[in-house]
Structure 1
Amino acid sequence: MNVITLAEASAGTAELVGGKAAGLGELIKLGERVPEGFCLTTAAHDRGVIPEAEVAAAYRALGGGPVAVRSSATAEDLPYASFAGQQDTFLGVTGADALQDAIAKCWSSLHTERAVAYREANDIDGRTVRMAVVVQRMVEAKVAGVLFTANPLTGCRTETVVDAAPGLGTAVVDGTAPADHYVLDGTRYDDRGCLTPAQLAELHRAGERIQAHFGTPQDVEWAIDSDGTLWLLQSRPITTLFPLPPPTDRPQPRIYLEFGHVQGMLRPVTPMGMSALRVILAGMLGSFGIKAEIVDIGGRLYGDLTDLVRDPATRKRLVKLMAVDFGPRAQAVVAHLLTDPRFAPVPTVRSRPAGGLGPALRTAPRAIAGIVAALARPEAARVRLFEEIDQLRQRAAAEPAGLRTAAERLDFVEAQDPSTRYDRIVWPVVAGILTAALPAELLKGIASQAEIHAVLGGMPHNVTIEMDLALWRLAERAGAHRDLLCTTPPEELAARYRAGTLPEIGLAAFLDTYGHRAAAEVDLGVPRWAEDPTPVFASIANYLRVTDPEQAPDRRFARAAAEAEVALAALVRRVRRRRPVRGRLAGFLLRRARVLAGLREAGKFAGLYPLRENRRQLLLVGAELADGGRLAQADDIMFLTIPEARAAVSDGIDQRALVAQRRATYRRELRRRHVPVAVLSDGTDVEAALAPATAAATDALRGVGAAPGTATGPARVVHDPATARIEPGEILVAPTTDPGWTPLFLTAGGLVTETGAPMAHGPTVAREYGIPAVICVPGATDTIRTGQVITVDGAAGTVTVDRGR
């Protein structure tokens, strides 16, 4: 079947007619007004020869005259990839010969450089894509444009956006001419620009009908002719929207704050990892008397803060609370929400769970005792903490002995208690966080943030720093194998290591201590370094490229520690002269911080041991299910929840189709560059909806200084640390970082991230190495290109791009 009418096309024939024609066929079935036309199907493309007689006959049936000729590939107008502008469109084509030529050009556009690159970026196999072509009678448009049934800039699902301009709609689509911009909420229609209120109302109603039919927000092209008739030219999903929060029957609207970036992770979490994290996080918050519903939005952890924002008691403290871990972007969002009348205080709202302050009151005596003990005897507290971590490691390895069946292994994983008390670990860590955070308040107006950050550099007893330095020492010992380790791809080195064909460099000992770590390690669905040491080999190669002895990470860390001690002494002397009481108290806290603040990473490090064992048990279950044909491979189990895994084990349910669907969604979300700091229940990205900040007079990008100092060097934009190559002195530019990224810091000259908080993992480790860091630079990985020379000023919180180089 080479040629069919558009009325014969539908979603069920997408493989034959392509995405665009399928969408037009659905509009026709819905009763919408669509220009008459036909489709040259993918069957003709498969043969590679234009059926000239059939095309000519279909063209005559349209009455001849000018037509629009547009691509309609099978990988086009997809829910996750629009292919907007990637393949060709030809307007005003007249005559059979010109039509044949336009069709040939549409076919050829499937293989243009831009189309190939777009498919690769969206993980679409070009070998599977075929091209149909849509031919439609031209509409002599008086005005035309595009309609979005959700706001594509803010994500708000209750707003319809229309862009319109006189004449053909190509100027609007291509962005080559100014357009009138309308944001519609259905309450009123502006009497301005090239559209009348009646036309806007008609477009709004059409958008509602189309979205209801397709079940998802749509991007619609339209035209209005000289008779005032509305024609619909295309409808496809809006592919850029962040997913909506899950439905709830609680009072609307609701506000959800993203929690993942606190752990330096913006990538999606696997379904199994998400179910574990939600329980763990809820247990942690509950122990402090805080109830925040944890939800999955786009595979990311979000907390429902609505009740906290509306509670007269808690809302006053929220902005300050955001500064500790969530950072300035979250602070700005919360400050804005406090002015929003929809989130005005409601006296009856209470954010605490049943029992009121019970959990917090029960925790308070232990907290006070633990913190006071750590402050009084910090060295003893540190020793006890690491003893507890070692015991936890041993328990995690020993407890599962004797598990035999898949059901027993699932019972073991499900029985893990996230609220288990580790007082010897928790309260020294909290004491360290407090001693590092409180001096900034005490010394406000007396000492700068950069001075305090300098005092917090080169901090000892940080398990992540110790891990990085251990890897550096391993690289030093592996110098004899420099050529092999620097010239062989990390993936190949990892495969050879697993096969036992690599020279001995001491990696087994390193992995015995740190193999339970990884980037995005809080997700138990992510392979650990012991399973896949590819990132470790990438870091070793980076280290072996360091040739300047003064840039050796151990020397840099030692310098940062020495400079911190000097800065501490000078700061205390100066402050005590000006404010004796504050000076003494700040000095006490900062000295304690030098012993305790480095312990911040210890709590998470300890929690990774049981997480590793849970992962091991789940993979054993997955292997059994794969052997039985209920999963395709062992690690597919990470794309199920515990109940779904039980259904596969106990009831024999084949979960392969469900896993394939979730893996595809996961891969798509991995490609998402922007994750909202906060979203409303209607999908609004709160930060995007805020008025844009006034542009700076210079080329400097503004963020928050998180580690003092300045550095100039070529930028290296990294989205995945697994195989990243960082040359000594390059500035690492990343969306965010967690401990799995920190081996890259040892060769970097500076750090720039899009999210974070001054006390989060990345900035903390940057301070310890003495490299400047600027965080919360919106769009840094898009604005800055690898190779551009940039200057990072950690005191001013700016990143300057040298446009001349």
Structure 2
Amino acid sequence: MPSPVDGARGTVGGKARQLLELQRAGFRVPEFLCSPADIGRAIEILGLPLAVRSSASAEDGRDVSFAGQFRSFLNLRTAGEVESAMQACRESVHAPSVADYCRRNAIDPDSLSMGVIVQRMVQPELAGVVFTVNPSTGAEEIVIEACEGLADELLAGRKPALPPDHPLVRRHAPGIGEVARAIQRHFGAPQDIEFAIESGRIHILQSRPVTRIDFAPGTGEWTNADFRDGGVSCAVCTPLMWSLYDYIWEDSLKGFLREIRLLDGDFAAGRMFFGRPYWNLGAVKECLARLPGFVEREFDRDLGVEGHYEGDGRCTPVTLRGILRSLPTLLAIPAIWKRQDRFDRAFLAGGFDALLRRHPLPAADPTAAFRELVHTGYRITETNYFRTIYCASLAKLSFVESFPEADYPALVSALPAMKHLDPTLVLREMAARGETDIGPLLERFAHRSRRELDIRAPRWDEDPEWVSALLKQHGGAAGSDPRPAYEAARADSLARLPWHRRRAFARKLDRLRHFLWLREEMRDLSSRMYHLVRRHVLAIAGQRGLGDDIFFMTFREIVDDDRSNVARGRERHEGFRNFRAPNEIGSRYRFEPGPVRGALRGIGASRGSARGVARVARDIEEAMHVERGSILVCPFTDPGWTPVLDRVAGVVTETGGLLSHAAVICREYGIPAVLGVPGATTRIPDRARVAVHGGGGFVELEDSGRPGDTASSAASENPNKRGAAHGKDT
């Protein structure tokens, strides 16, 4: 049997590429040829009868499937029938329904080309489709819709599916499920698979990504906001990492809400969907709605949650009764700020180092030492890091509600020196002096990593090649000093306020800046703690001969040496590794990826404007090669990206908000940044010339010529340009 693409004439197409990949991966695909030039030769190779199927250039893609848009023909028994079917299949690309589908999905109909699959006709006893995720409820379960014989009438909606308890379905369901899960694992995303069973063997006729998921009413409402911005939900998460994170999240979130008198009962704080962590958005809103003045739309906008409801959603009116009811909360918050500040200062001043000394390595009993570390050192560090995050959020809310017109990004820039910026400063100094000895770097910053919230990722003390590459690539800072802009914004704000409000402004701003600084300092301690946890985990893995299986066990399973869920954990991790999961889950949300339209707008997180060449980097390894003075376009950043951010002229991300790590770092480096731009890494072409307007919160594509991708600017630019590659104002 020759290769299916040997002698192909014209387009291969998406469906044929998928089938070819499945065939090469060992799945049973009926023999086929793609767009054969010689129909007679194709019949000699494949025999009769044959099927002719579409394989358009954009068909069965990750965002759009073109399901039901093109024609297919079955049981063709002569060369003439095959030739006519191939011609009709090619012509179907010009159908009015296809043009309408293209318009709805922002695709140029003229860009489509049609390949044709000529395939051996399977005569099935059972055929149909299998979904590896339930498209109607979002449940991670196998859903089979099948009928006896050919499935063309079933797929067209003219024939009902057999019930699940039908003998044929019962007999073949386990095998169908096993193959479907293997295909999802191969592609790394949920699949919509067409199959046919002939002589007891499962043949795969088509596999494409699931491109639409609805959620059942009882699912609740969940989000990965703040988790996805370089956090545990920015990529698929291992069972070990989520078990550690959830251990803290579950108690700290609800404990904090109880302390501020907003939670009386209980709820599940976190949950995994599609291999990624989410937190309970609906339950948190329920708590916050007890406060007078709560506006759901404003809450969602602050988090970057896209609310699908009318108007402002749920709102709590400001009434005297409501204010009186909220007094316990208003009185509790200042006391919590004071307690957390006192703890953090002591912890940073030596408490954390004393805690580390209680967990030495190597340990006589690695398992007992690991259990003690998780339940004491890790719990204390992470709980207080999370509480500091909550305090910073409340401080921001207090400031912004009191002074909504203030220039927030400028006012929270130029924070006191932060430890997680130290590696960049040292790299900058070493590069300037021409030093190459990274030994002191590895010792001082052993806890740093490319991906600090992925416990599988090696830390710097295990990854000297990476650190050497960082030093080699470091060419000096491309940003500017943010302090003048901060001082000017503070002076201007105070000058505009009546005298009796100036003291409150200064007090609330100083508290906000202090907690933002504390949050970043506690983040550094959190990174050091994860470094220690990883070392303990690796010690146990070495002792037991587990290898990286240990990362697919929860921390409790590690303590109990329970390996029963390792295989399932790996399958889930690999099965969702390439899935662009929805940011929100619930009956008010629908997962339907596709081209994002409109202007490139987001959150202006760091003031100033910069022009330059966009470099799209989907991970930190790609970001490493971004040239100095470029505009970095990426899905997110985390602390591991900090040395890279030091040399770019501007930043555009798909996630993040005013309190995110990317926002803090860009403000400290004086780099204009627009965060939370939907689809930025696909909408902004690599090496396109762009302008980033951090003040206005939008990005212009200066040389794309694509409609809808530019926004009119009301912002003025500083005529004093810095360097030939880009211009910048602060």
TM above 0.5 = yes
2:578 corresponds in structure 1 to 671
Kindly indicate whether the alpha-carbon contact (under 8 Å) linking 2:248 and 2:382 is maintained by their aligned counterparts in 1: no
1:790 corresponds in structure 2 to 690
Aligned pairs (5 A) from 1:638-677: 638-646=551-559, 648=561, 659=566, 662-663=569-570, 665-667=572-574, 669-672=576-579, 674-677=580-583
Q: What is the distance in 1 between the residues matched to 2:656 and 2:193?
A: 37
Aligned pairs (5 A) from 1:766-777: 766-777=666-677
Aligned pairs (5 A) from 1:121-270: 134-136=119-121, 202=158, 205=161, 213=173, 214-215=176-177, 219=192, 236=206, 238-240=208-210, 252-259=218-225, 260-261=227-228, 264=231, 266-270=234-238
- Post-superposition Cα deviations, 1:767-803, rounded to whole Å, max 9, x if no partner, equal 1111111111111111112201111111111111123
Residue 543, structure 1, aligned to residue 543, structure 2: no
For these two proteins, the number of residue pairs brought into alignment is 591
Q: What is the distance in 1 between the residues matched to 2:450 and 2:661?
A: 12
1:119 corresponds in structure 2 to none
1:748 corresponds in structure 2 to 648
1:28 corresponds in structure 2 to none
Q: What is the distance in 1 between the residues matched to 2:610 and 2:357?
A: 44
Kindly indicate whether the alpha-carbon contact (under 8 Å) linking 1:329 and 1:677 is maintained by their aligned counterparts in 2: no
Q: What is the distance in 2 between the residues matched to 1:687 and 1:57?
A: 42
2:242 corresponds in structure 1 to 274
- Post-superposition Cα deviations, 1:324-370, rounded to whole Å, max 9, x if no partner, equal 9x84431x327669859xx99xxxxxxxxxxxx9x999986851533
Q: What is the distance in 1 between the residues matched to 2:53 and 2:549?
A: 44
Q: What is the distance in 2 between the residues matched to 1:316 and 1:235?
A: 57
- Post-superposition Cα deviations, 1:10-42, rounded to whole Å, max 9, x if no partner, equal xxxx99995999789xxxxxxxxxxxxxx5599
Q: CA RMSD in A?
A: 5.6
Residue 285, structure 1, aligned to residue 253, structure 2: yes
Decide which of 471, 490, 493 is 1:568's aligned counterpart.
Answer: 490
Identity of aligned residues (%): 25
- 1:745 CA displacement: 1.1
Instruction: Give the 3 Å change call, closer, same or farther, for CA 318–595 of structure 1 in structure 2.
Output: closer
Instruction: Give the 3 Å change call, closer, same or farther, for CA 69–713 of structure 1 in structure 2.
Output: closer
Q: What is the distance in 1 between the residues matched to 2:386 and 2:359?
A: 22
SS at match of 2:668: helix
Instruction: Give the 3 Å change call, closer, same or farther, for CA 296–582 of structure 1 in structure 2.
Output: same
Instruction: Give the 3 Å change call, closer, same or farther, for CA 791–69 of structure 1 in structure 2.
Output: closer
Structure 2 residue ranges without an equivalent (≥5): 3-18, 87-116, 146-151, 181-189, 196-202, 317-325, 706-730
Q: What is the distance in 1 between the residues matched to 2:503 and 2:444?
A: 40
Q: What is the distance in 2 between the residues matched to 1:277 and 1:414?
A: 11
- 1:155 CA displacement: 6.3
* AA at the equivalent of 1:748: V
Q: What is the distance in 1 between the residues matched to 2:238 and 2:557?
A: 14
Residue 299, structure 1, aligned to residue 275, structure 2: yes
- Post-superposition Cα deviations, 1:717-753, rounded to whole Å, max 9, x if no partner, equal 1121135212111111111111111211101111111
Residue 607, structure 1, aligned to residue 576, structure 2: no
Q: What is the distance in 2 between the residues matched to 1:92 and 1:532?
A: 58
Q: What is the distance in 2 between the residues matched to 1:565 and 1:236?
A: 61
Kindly indicate whether the alpha-carbon contact (under 8 Å) linking 2:381 and 2:525 is maintained by their aligned counterparts in 1: no
The TM-score normalised by the length of structure 1 is 0.60
Q: What is the distance in 2 between the residues matched to 1:686 and 1:799?
A: 27
Kindly indicate whether the alpha-carbon contact (under 8 Å) linking 2:344 and 2:522 is maintained by their aligned counterparts in 1: no
- Post-superposition Cα deviations, 1:515-574, rounded to whole Å, max 9, x if no partner, equal 212244233333222222444334323323x4xxxx556xx2xx2113311321222112
1:174 corresponds in structure 2 to none
- Post-superposition Cα deviations, 1:607-647, rounded to whole Å, max 9, x if no partner, equal 23332222111111111222xxxx3x2x3311222344355
Instruction: Give the 3 Å change call, closer, same or farther, for CA 221–644 of structure 1 in structure 2.
Output: closer
Decide which of 416, 420, 425 is 2:380's aligned counterpart.
Answer: 420
Decide which of 419, 423, 433 is 1:463's aligned counterpart.
Answer: 419
Decide which of 324, 339, 342 is 1:370's aligned counterpart.
Answer: 339
Decide which of 307, 318, 322 is 1:333's aligned counterpart.
Answer: 307
Aligned pairs (5 A) from 1:323-472: 323=299, 327-330=302-305, 332-333=306-307, 367-370=336-339, 384=346, 386-388=348-350, 391-400=351-360, 403-416=363-376, 419-420=379-380, 435-444=395-404, 446-447=405-406, 451-472=407-428
Decide which of 421, 444, 462 is 1:513's aligned counterpart.
Answer: 444
Kindly indicate whether the alpha-carbon contact (under 8 Å) linking 1:258 and 1:302 is maintained by their aligned counterparts in 2: yes
Structure 1 residue ranges without an equivalent (≥5): 3-13, 25-38, 43-49, 104-131, 139-144, 163-168, 170-194, 223-232, 345-356, 375-380, 481-502
Kindly indicate whether the alpha-carbon contact (under 8 Å) linking 1:370 and 1:423 is maintained by their aligned counterparts in 2: no
Structure 1 or 2: more helix by fraction:
1
Kindly indicate whether the alpha-carbon contact (under 8 Å) linking 1:710 and 1:792 is maintained by their aligned counterparts in 2: yes
Instruction: Give the 3 Å change call, closer, same or farther, for CA 401–776 of structure 1 in structure 2.
Output: closer
Kindly indicate whether the alpha-carbon contact (under 8 Å) linking 2:666 and 2:672 is maintained by their aligned counterparts in 1: yes
Decide which of 763, 779, 788 is 2:679's aligned counterpart.
Answer: 779
- 1:589 CA displacement: 2.9
Instruction: Give the 3 Å change call, closer, same or farther, for CA 67–621 of structure 1 in structure 2.
Output: closer
* AA at the equivalent of 2:485: E
Kindly indicate whether the alpha-carbon contact (under 8 Å) linking 1:455 and 1:567 is maintained by their aligned counterparts in 2: yes
- 1:301 CA displacement: 1.2
Kindly indicate whether the alpha-carbon contact (under 8 Å) linking 1:728 and 1:749 is maintained by their aligned counterparts in 2: yes
Kindly indicate whether the alpha-carbon contact (under 8 Å) linking 1:218 and 1:235 is maintained by their aligned counterparts in 2: no
Kindly indicate whether the alpha-carbon contact (under 8 Å) linking 2:268 and 2:280 is maintained by their aligned counterparts in 1: yes
SS at match of 1:525: coil
Kindly indicate whether the alpha-carbon contact (under 8 Å) linking 1:560 and 1:770 is maintained by their aligned counterparts in 2: yes
Aligned pairs (5 A) from 1:468-507: 468-477=424-433, 479=434, 504=437, 507=438
Q: What is the distance in 2 between the residues matched to 1:312 and 1:561?
A: 35
